[in-house]
Amino acid sequence: MTDKAQYVPPKVWTWNKESGGAFAHINRPIAGATHERALPVGRHPFQLYSIASPNGVKVTVLLEELLALGHQGAEYDAWPVRIGEGEQFGSDFVQINPNSKIPALLDRSGPESVRLFESGAILLHLAEKFGEFIPQAHRAECLSWLFWQMASTPFMGGGFGHFYAYAPVKIEYAIDRFAMETKRQLDVLNRQLADREYILGESYSLADVAIWPWYGTVVLGQAYDAGEFLAVAECKNLRRWAEAIAERPAVIRGRKVNLMTGDLADQLHERHDASDFLTKTQDKLQPIG
């Protein structure tokens, strides 16, 4: 290891400067709204406020999968939240998610609106509401993998991704620590998929919906530009699974919703109708429903 420890922490930490990382301008050590901001509301039972980050994509993929199964009650309006501009600290957004992070969902299908935050809770709520993607015979296993993803990914995203791709300095100790853990997590999945088509076995489930946007994109070399560094090609089972899921029409659609970066042809900033995929992106998919 080459880095020398130079920083001696003071007795009490104070917020006196930006950290310098890629998202430093939106990081702050206090919660709550910074400004008044109303959120738009559309006509559908579900109002999603999000972006097409892995945590956001989990939800749009599930909604698109539910619609593909014919659940018209899963129709949704998806509104972008520009987190780089601090919209997650607007008053209406904070009313839905006091933690100021996307995704946030308003379920207006019942007599009272229900607010939801934390992508895992949103997935569980939707899957239970429509009775899909949690096979009763494997319910405990499915929840175990869902909670595994929610608990494990911050080590990869906030740990490895941050220090490898976003931090203003490359710190060998931090990159080693989180690369080690990320490799271990990839191996957990690679072994699980050695003799199973999907995480739970033969059928695609909520576990796959939750895990794919993070670990699927990493193993396909689409995250942090780290495919070579992490030698993801070694994870052959995981790659086979990731490639198969990437081709699902609902996954292709879900990844476009609230996408604000990359190829313009793929960006669907707002989604209000299945036909939006055809009229507002250059998607060649047939509209559903």
Q: What is the DSSP string of 145-208?
A: HHHHHHHHHHIIIIIIIIIIIISSS--HHHHHHHHHHHHHHHHHHHHHTSS-SSSSSSS--HHH
Q: Tell me which stretch binds ligand GSH (CB under 6 A): 101-109, 169-177, 182-190, 216-224.
A: 101-109
- Taking CB under 6 A as the rule, does residue 185 contact ligand GSH? no
8 A C-beta contact, residue 198 and residue 204: yes
Q: What is the DSSP string of 226-238?
A: -TTTTTGGG-HHH
- Taking CB under 6 A as the rule, does residue 100 contact ligand GSH? yes
Q: Which is closer to ligand GSH, CB of 26 or CB of 220?
A: 26
Q: Tell me which stretch binds ligand GSH (CB under 6 A): 65-73, 95-103, 164-172, 229-237.
A: 95-103
3-state secondary structure of 284: coil
- Taking CB under 6 A as the rule, does residue 119 contact ligand GSH? yes
Closest among 40, 39, 37, 46 to 71, alpha carbons compared: 46
Q: Which strands form 114-117's sheet, in the order they lie side by side?
A: 76-80, 46-50, 104-107, 114-117
Q: Which is closer to ligand GSH, CB of 260 or CB of 288?
A: 260
- Taking CB under 6 A as the rule, does residue 26 contact ligand GSH? yes
* Helix, strand, coil percentages, rounded to 5, for the chain: 50, 10, 45
Q: Tell me which stretch binds ligand GSH (CB under 6 A): 97-105, 124-132, 136-144, 253-261.
A: 97-105
- Taking CB under 6 A as the rule, does residue 149 contact ligand GSH? no
Closest CB 33 distance from ligand GSH, rounded Å: 13
Closest CB 101 distance from ligand GSH, rounded Å: 3
- Taking CB under 6 A as the rule, does residue 146 contact ligand GSH? no
Q: Which is closer to ligand GSH, CB of 42 or CB of 90?
A: 90
- Taking CB under 6 A as the rule, does residue 182 contact ligand GSH? no
**Which amino acid, 183?**
K
The footprint of ligand GSH on this chain (CB under 6 A) covers a number of residues equal to 11
Enter the tokens of residue 287: 């509209």
> Quick one: which of 98, 108, 118, 274 contacts ligand GSH (CB under 6 A)?
118
Distance CA 260, CA 270 (A): 10
- Taking CB under 6 A as the rule, does residue 83 contact ligand GSH? yes
Hey, which residues does 46 pair with through a beta bridge?
76, 107
Closest CB 53 distance from ligand GSH, rounded Å: 4
- Taking CB under 6 A as the rule, does residue 55 contact ligand GSH? yes
Interface residues toward ligand GSH, by CB under 6 A: 26, 53, 55, 83, 88, 100-103, 118-119
